[in-house]
């Protein structure tokens, strides 16, 4: 095969033609090509080992940066979670982008792999990439119930702190729909729930004031009604019976307290359960329990201050949820035999 020689100064791709043996450009090309290749490999390795995302970069990771943390502490935290390769390089990048004083505290979400530069950039500019999660708290939930739901649905949420701070505020955590950011401070959510409570209760303030009883007592009664009945009419009827019992010094004997005390409902209770030692036991203690047993909605709060007066002193719910009333204990026993079979 005859390979044509090129004229001096004319160069084409070397797989199809060759220059004269003394062509200095081709000799330089032959020497520089492997060096360029090695240089490219070296640059890639440098990038990969410094700015590239770690191989075990966690997908869907949350990181909380607290107020007062130093840049080095944040870097160590990111490295421990495999979000960056080098603390020193992270610090340098943040200072190059902005400075360590501009790192924004808060919760950061990493949906996928990101370079070291991108991680540093996000913290320098407070790019959290968080989407609030919709939480629905129904009427009658306790602070413990709410904490359990938050632990299941909100990533990196301190449900224990929510419960510890929320339980003393039982009854004042208004049941509603809230949007919670992952990692949010539990106190912020609790404050929002209490503010919501105040706003809603204000709408019935004249009715509450007219009833003439302290709001804490009304909330305890409302929490009992919330767990005892599902509709406003039944709640108002039961409210009339319970306020009447308190007035004549008769124990309330409300079964709704037992899920709060021992986790059992009316159909699970034994005679021994009715004697359990608790200030919330309305069989062994007269008057209202020391605090709400749940967080009631406005229907129950309004029912507590608009009771229906009657001559009834007893009531029971059958297995279909229908209520039956009587003025005497004999009538209550008859209703038990008729509707509950005992």
pLDDT, tens digit (0-9, with 9 covering 90-100), for 185-219: 899 999 999 999 999 999 999 999 999 999 999 99
From 228, 235, 304, select the one nearest 260 (Cα to Cα).
Answer: 228
With 0-12 CB in 10 A as exposed, 13-18 as middle and 19+ as buried, what is 273? middle
Domain boundaries, the chain: 61-125, 133-202, 212-310
Check: CB of residue 232 under 8 Å from CB of residue 306: no
* Model confidence pLDDT, tens digit, residues 100-123: 566 888 888 888 888 888 888 888
Structure tokens at 78: 């990111």
Report the alpha-carbon distance of residue 97 to residue 90 in Å, rounded.
Answer: 11
**What is residue 11's predicted lDDT score, i.e. its pLDDT?**
46
Higher pLDDT, 229 or 114: 229
Per-residue pLDDT averaged across 17-24, rounded? 56
Check: CB of residue 259 under 8 Å from CB of residue 273: no
Report the alpha-carbon distance of residue 296 to residue 290 in Å, rounded.
Answer: 16
The C-alpha angle with vertex 235 and arms to 229 and 239, in degrees rounded to 5, equals 125
User: What average pLDDT does the chain have?
Assistant: 86
pLDDT reading at 243 higher than 90? yes
**What is residue 14's predicted lDDT score, i.e. its pLDDT?**
45
**What is residue 50's predicted lDDT score, i.e. its pLDDT?**
58
Report the alpha-carbon distance of residue 129 to residue 87 in Å, rounded.
Answer: 22
Higher pLDDT, 156 or 172: 172
Terminal-to-terminal C-alpha distance of the chain: 111
Q: Which residues contact 176 (CB under 8 A, 6 or more apart)?
A: 136, 137, 193, 196
What percent of the chain shows pLDDT beyond 70?
Answer: 84
Same fold yes or no, 61-125 and 133-202: yes
Per-residue pLDDT averaged across 85-92, rounded? 86
Higher pLDDT, 28 or 128: 128
Report the alpha-carbon distance of residue 103 to residue 106 in Å, rounded.
Answer: 10
DSSP 8-state symbol, 7: P
Greatest alpha-carbon pair distance for the chain in Å reads 123
Report the alpha-carbon distance of residue 316 to residue 336 in Å, rounded.
Answer: 8
Q: Which CATH number describes the domain made up of 133-202?
A: 3.30.1490
Q: How confident is the model at residue 3 (pLDDT cuts 50, 70, 90)?
A: very low
Q: Which CATH number describes the domain made up of 61-125?
A: 3.30.1490.480
Per-residue pLDDT averaged across 73-87, rounded? 89
* Model confidence pLDDT, tens digit, residues 140-157: 999 999 999 999 999 889
């Amino acid at each position: 095969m005859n390979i044509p020689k090129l004229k001096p100064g004319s160069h084409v791709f070397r797989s199809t033609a060759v220059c004269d043996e003394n062509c200095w450009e081709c000799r330089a090309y032959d020497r520089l090509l492997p060096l360029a290749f090695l240089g490219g490999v070296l640059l890639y390795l440098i990038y990969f080992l410094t700015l590239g995302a770690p191989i075990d970069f966690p997908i869907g990771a949350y990181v909380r940066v607290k107020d007062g943390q130093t840049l080095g502490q944040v870097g160590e935290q990111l490295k421990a979670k495999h979000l960056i390769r080098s603390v020193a390089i992270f610090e340098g990048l943040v200072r190059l982008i902005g400075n360590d004083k501009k790192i924004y505290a808060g919760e950061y979400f990493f949906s996928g792999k990101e370079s070291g530069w991108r991680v540093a950039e996000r913290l320098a500019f407070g790019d959290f990439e968080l989407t609030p999660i919709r939480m629905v708290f129904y009427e009658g939930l306790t602070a413990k119930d709410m904490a359990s739901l938050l632990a299941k649905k909100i990533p990196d949420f301190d449900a224990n702190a929510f419960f510890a701070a929320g339980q003393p505020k039982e009854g004042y955590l208004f049941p509603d729909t809230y949007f919670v950011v992952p990692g949010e401070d539990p106190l912020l959510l609790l404050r929002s729930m209490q503010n919501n409570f105040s706003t809603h209760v204000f709408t019935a303030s004249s009715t509450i004031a007219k009833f003439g009883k302290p709001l804490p007592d009304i909330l305890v009664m409302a929490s009992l009604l919330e767990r005892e009945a599902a509709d406003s009419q039944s709640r108002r009827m039961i409210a009339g019976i319970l306020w009447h019992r308190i007035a004549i010094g008769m124990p309330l004997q409300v079964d709704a307290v037992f899920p709060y005390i021992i986790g059992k409902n009316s159909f699970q209770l034994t005679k021994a359960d009715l004697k359990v030692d608790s200030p919330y036991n309305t069989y062994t203690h007269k008057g209202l329990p020391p605090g709400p047993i749940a967080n009631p909605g406005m229907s129950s709060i309004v029912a507590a201050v608009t009771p229906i007066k009657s001559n009834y002193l007893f009531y029971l719910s059958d297995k279909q949820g229908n209520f039956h009333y009587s003025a005497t204990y004999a009538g209550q026993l008859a209703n038990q035999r008729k509707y509950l079979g005992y």
